[in-house]
Amino acid sequence: MPEIVEMPASDAVSDADFKTAMRQVTSSVAVITARSGKARNGLTATAVCSVSAEPPMMLVCINRSATAERLIAESGSFAINFLSEEQHRIARLFSTSKLSAEERFGEGRWISMTTGSPVLEGAVAAFDCKVAERVLSGTHHIYFGRVVGVTSLDQEALLYRDGSFRRLAAVG
């Protein structure tokens, strides 16, 4: 196994170069939601992935300044809602900090499952999660969530690349 070597600061990649490269990576679009008491909020995210099937575990990276981050920390839970092509408007609503939670949740039908975190009906897939671990990394917290509920539908997923929402096209 190769040795992991930490790069000296002089070899670090600039923020601008990192962001330019990341814009070329196509990602699924998810809205991460949380509820603490009567307060609910969420954000659009692409830094989401599965961790394991045994036990079922997901990972999300949340900026520490996001309102939803505080709700996740308080409640110990969150939901991951992977959006369909038709739900691009919901992705936009949750991608701006200028809107209130009421405005964000005004689009779509939101239900709750085990944890009480808002789950979007009609999402390609939704994962209701209890926080198993939280790790600080730079400007973000990485949350590992134990999946306690799921929903899924066979439909086309909304994608994000180079600042735009996209569709998946069949090849060949």
pLDDT digits (tens, 9 = 90+) for 90-134: 999 999 889 999 999 999 999 999 999 999 999 999 999 999 999
DSSP β-bridge partners for residue 28: 159
Per the domain annotation, does 19 fall within a domain? no
Per the domain annotation, does 23 fall within a domain? no
Tell me the CATH number at 112: 2.30.110.10
Are 153 and 119 in contact, with CB atoms under 8 Å apart? no
> Which structural domain, as residue segments, surrounds residue 54?
29-153
pLDDT value, residue 166: 85
Domain total of the chain: 1
Per the domain annotation, does 136 fall within a domain? yes
pLDDT digits (tens, 9 = 90+) for 144-163: 999 999 999 999 999 998 88
The tokens of 126 are what?
């939704």
Per the domain annotation, does 36 fall within a domain? yes
Distance (Å, whole) CA 93 – CA 111? 18
Per the domain annotation, does 39 fall within a domain? yes
Greatest alpha-carbon pair distance for the chain in Å reads 51
Residue 63 has pLDDT above 80, yes or no: yes
Radius of gyration of the chain (CA): 17
Per the domain annotation, does 82 fall within a domain? yes
- pTM of the model as a whole: 0.89
Local structure of residue 41 (DSSP, 8 states): E
Per the domain annotation, does 168 fall within a domain? no
Are 29 and 47 in contact, with CB atoms under 8 Å apart? no
Per the domain annotation, does 33 fall within a domain? yes
